[in-house]
Amino acid sequence: MYAIRNKQHPYLCCGSIALTVWLMLAGLVSIATAQQANAPASGLTGNWAVRVENADGTFRTTYLNLKQEGSRITGYIRSTQFYFTITEGTGGPEGFTLEGTIGNGPNARRVRYEGKLVGDELHLTTRRRPEDKPIELVARRAPAGEGAPPARIPPPARHPVPDNGLAKTPPMGWNSWNKFAGRIDDATVRQIADAMASNGMREAGYVYINIDDTWEAGRDKQGNILTNKKFPDMKALADYVHGKGLKLGIYSSPGPNTCAGYEGSYGYEEQDARTYAAWGIDYLKYDWCGARMIYTDEEMPAIYQKMGDALRATGRPIVYSLCQYGRLDVWKWGAEVGGNLWRTTGDIRDAWDSMARIGFGQDGREQWAKPGHWNDPDMLEIGNGGMSETEYRTHMSLWAMLAAPLLAGNDLRSMSPATLAILTNREVIAVDQDKDGHQGRRVWKSGDQEIWTRPLSGGAVAVAIFNRAKEPAKVTCRWADVGISGKTRVRDLWEHKDLEWPGPEYSAEIPGHGVVMLRLAP
Ligand code: GLA
């Protein structure tokens, strides 16, 4: 009934995105039969395909387009959104190695395959990193040209996309990727919605239930995007989520493939937007990955504008989330292309170093955040187990100071009371959701201690005193040094208590990786 197209192998990626995509490989179960040969077999020369079946019934294919001359092998490898030239290829049918570089700059990563010809199959071994377990793959001959990148569709002329009036405060909700990656399905989404609607999160402001990558199958003959067997009926799922008083979000890419190698929206932008609207989708995360095979970074605004226009044309209110890892200073043009939020960084990991690097690295972008348009330092990792409770409180505080979207990324069905308490701290959420929408900034730093402030409506100010060191530290905040004058009310937002006016300065003993978060109000 439907054709599965371009289900490529997801593991060749750059930088931190690579890591998440790489994890998908853990689910590799079987190596399926490739297209049978119809190219003449002459040594290694030819188009070779590795076809891997995902647990959801879709396929991913890696193409190795090789030319062997003596012991020199040239050509390219296309694996999901990656397309790279073989820069070092040597050997022959009895044994060869292929190497190339994916990405560039600090994200560049070397990829290496070893292999040999066995009958009419290439038996290949590759590794994510040299120390990782080898992954064994079998490639078979594929027709010439199969798997080549699709023809380029020129980007549209630029024009401003009118504001959709949504996300007047930073979006709050949940996203499937951080915890579930490729293991997300209809039943889990329903249970997450049940949890959010019954554990106090909905009342605290969380509303979006966002399905990330791996829901897609291919397209039908009319080009309509299809869901894979993990999501049998997206419209019914949207109805269910709406019935809980929540909203449903989805994910796609402007490229032919998503980051995990699933079907992207390339060439089908308007049609996909109409499908989302018909299903009852309320939020789209649009992830660049596969588009880099077709477009340059400079073309990003026009390409994001295309989906901004398409969403608008549906007439349905759909929050538009740009995900291109902060390239090309997206904060300067994200709003013009219809974006309600834009990722400012690569992928977060559930580790202090990753969270701190991303969160504290947002200083300086505050001028670009405003109601309807937000910097997005990525989804929350609170409750996923890689950080301490203290560190998760810092994570929540920092995101609130940054007016960041609060998209929980943990399993809401089984979290601890401590995790729930962090995610639903109403006083911290009120800072995040302050209606004036000013993003906070660093106003003081000494070694590993930092003070950030965020102006709030009604003349109040949020003050967060962070200790980035492992050891506890005593930090003194002189109000005058952080731009606060006169006596105010002081409230501790984690202790949930008003403090006595401490005079011109306030000192606190802050645990390693901890925070004191205050609200000062006239
Ligand atoms: C990229 C994004 C992640 C996630 C994955 C899904 O890495 O940055 O947030 O959406 O793709 O494949």
Based on DSSP, count helices (H) and strands (E) in the chain, helices before strands.
11, 28
Between the CA of 252 and the centroid of ligand 1 the distance, in Å, is 10
pLDDT for the residue numbered 82? 79
Taking only the tens place, the pLDDT of each residue in 365-407 is: 999 999 999 999 999 999 999 999 999 999 999 999 999 999 9
pLDDT at 106: 64
| Cα(17) to centroid(ligand 1), Å | 6
Q: Which residues pair with 374 in a beta bridge?
A: 341
Candidate from 7, 82, 177, 215 with most ligand 1 atoms within 8 A of CB, to mutate: 177
Q: Would you call 125 exposed, middle or buried from its count of C-beta atoms within 10 A (0-12, 13-18, 19+)?
A: middle
Whether residue 350 lies in the annotated active site: no
Secondary structure of 185-240 as H, E, C letters? CHHHHHHHHHHHHHCCHHHHCCCEEECCCCCEEEECCCCCEEECCCCCCHHHHHHH
Ligand 1 atom index nearest CA of 325 = 8
Q: Taking a C-beta distance cutoff of 8 angstroms, is the pair 260, 80 a contact? A: yes
Q: Which of 438, 429, 441, 442 has its CA nearest to residue 459? A: 438
By most ligand atoms within 8 Å of CB, the mutation choice from 12, 14, 17 for ligand 1 is 17
Confidence (pLDDT) at 292: 87
∠359-364-368 over CA atoms, to 5°?
Answer: 100
Name which residue sits closest to atom 4 of ligand 1, judged by CA: 177
- Rounded to 10 deg, the angle between the 269-279 and 300-313 helix axes is 40
3-class secondary-structure state, position 6: coil
Ligand 1 centroid distance, CA of 213 (Å):
7
* Residue to mutate (ligand 1; options 11, 180, 347, 376; most atoms within 8 A of CB): 347
Please name the residue whose Cα sits nearest to atom 9 of ligand 1: 347
Q: Which atom of ligand 1 is nearest to the CA of 212?
A: 10
The stretches in the chain having pLDDT less than 70 are 1-42, 105-107
Which residue has the CA at smallest separation from atom 11 of ligand 1?
Answer: 259
Distance of CA 268 to the CA centre of its chain: 21
- C-alpha 309/C-alpha 161 separation (Å) is 6
Ligand 1: atom nearest CA of 259 is 12
Q: Which atom of ligand 1 is nearest to the CA of 285?
A: 10
Distance 73 CA to ligand 1 centre (A): 33
Residue minimizing CA distance to atom 5 of ligand 1:
259
Q: Whose CA is nearest to atom 8 of ligand 1?
A: 347
Contact 365, 375 (CB under 8 A): yes
Distance 483 CA to ligand 1 centre (A): 39
Residue 12 CA to ligand 1 center (angstroms) comes to 13
Residue 282 is a catalytic residue = no
Q: How far apart are the CA of 69 and the centre of ligand 1, in A?
A: 39
Q: Which residue's CA is minimally distant from atom 3 of ligand 1? A: 347
pLDDT at 250: 98
Question: What was the pLDDT predicted at 42?
Answer: 66
Q: Which of 185, 212, 309, 347 is catalytic?
A: 347
Q: Ligand 1 centre from 18 Cα, in Å?
A: 9
Ligand 1, residue 20: give the atom nearest the CA: 7
43: left (phi over 0), alpha (psi -120 to 50) or beta: left
Query: What atom of ligand 1 comes closest to residue 21's alpha carbon?
Result: 12
- Which one of 56, 213, 282, 287 is the catalytic residue? 287
* Nearest atom of ligand 1 to the alpha carbon of 378: 9
Residues with a CB atom less than 6 Å from ligand 1: 17, 20-21, 177, 212-213, 258-260, 287, 323, 347
Cα–ligand 1 centroid distance for 325 (angstroms):
10
Rg (CA), the chain: 25
Q: Kindly give the interhelix angle for 389-401 and 352-360, rounded to the nearest 10 degrees.
A: 20
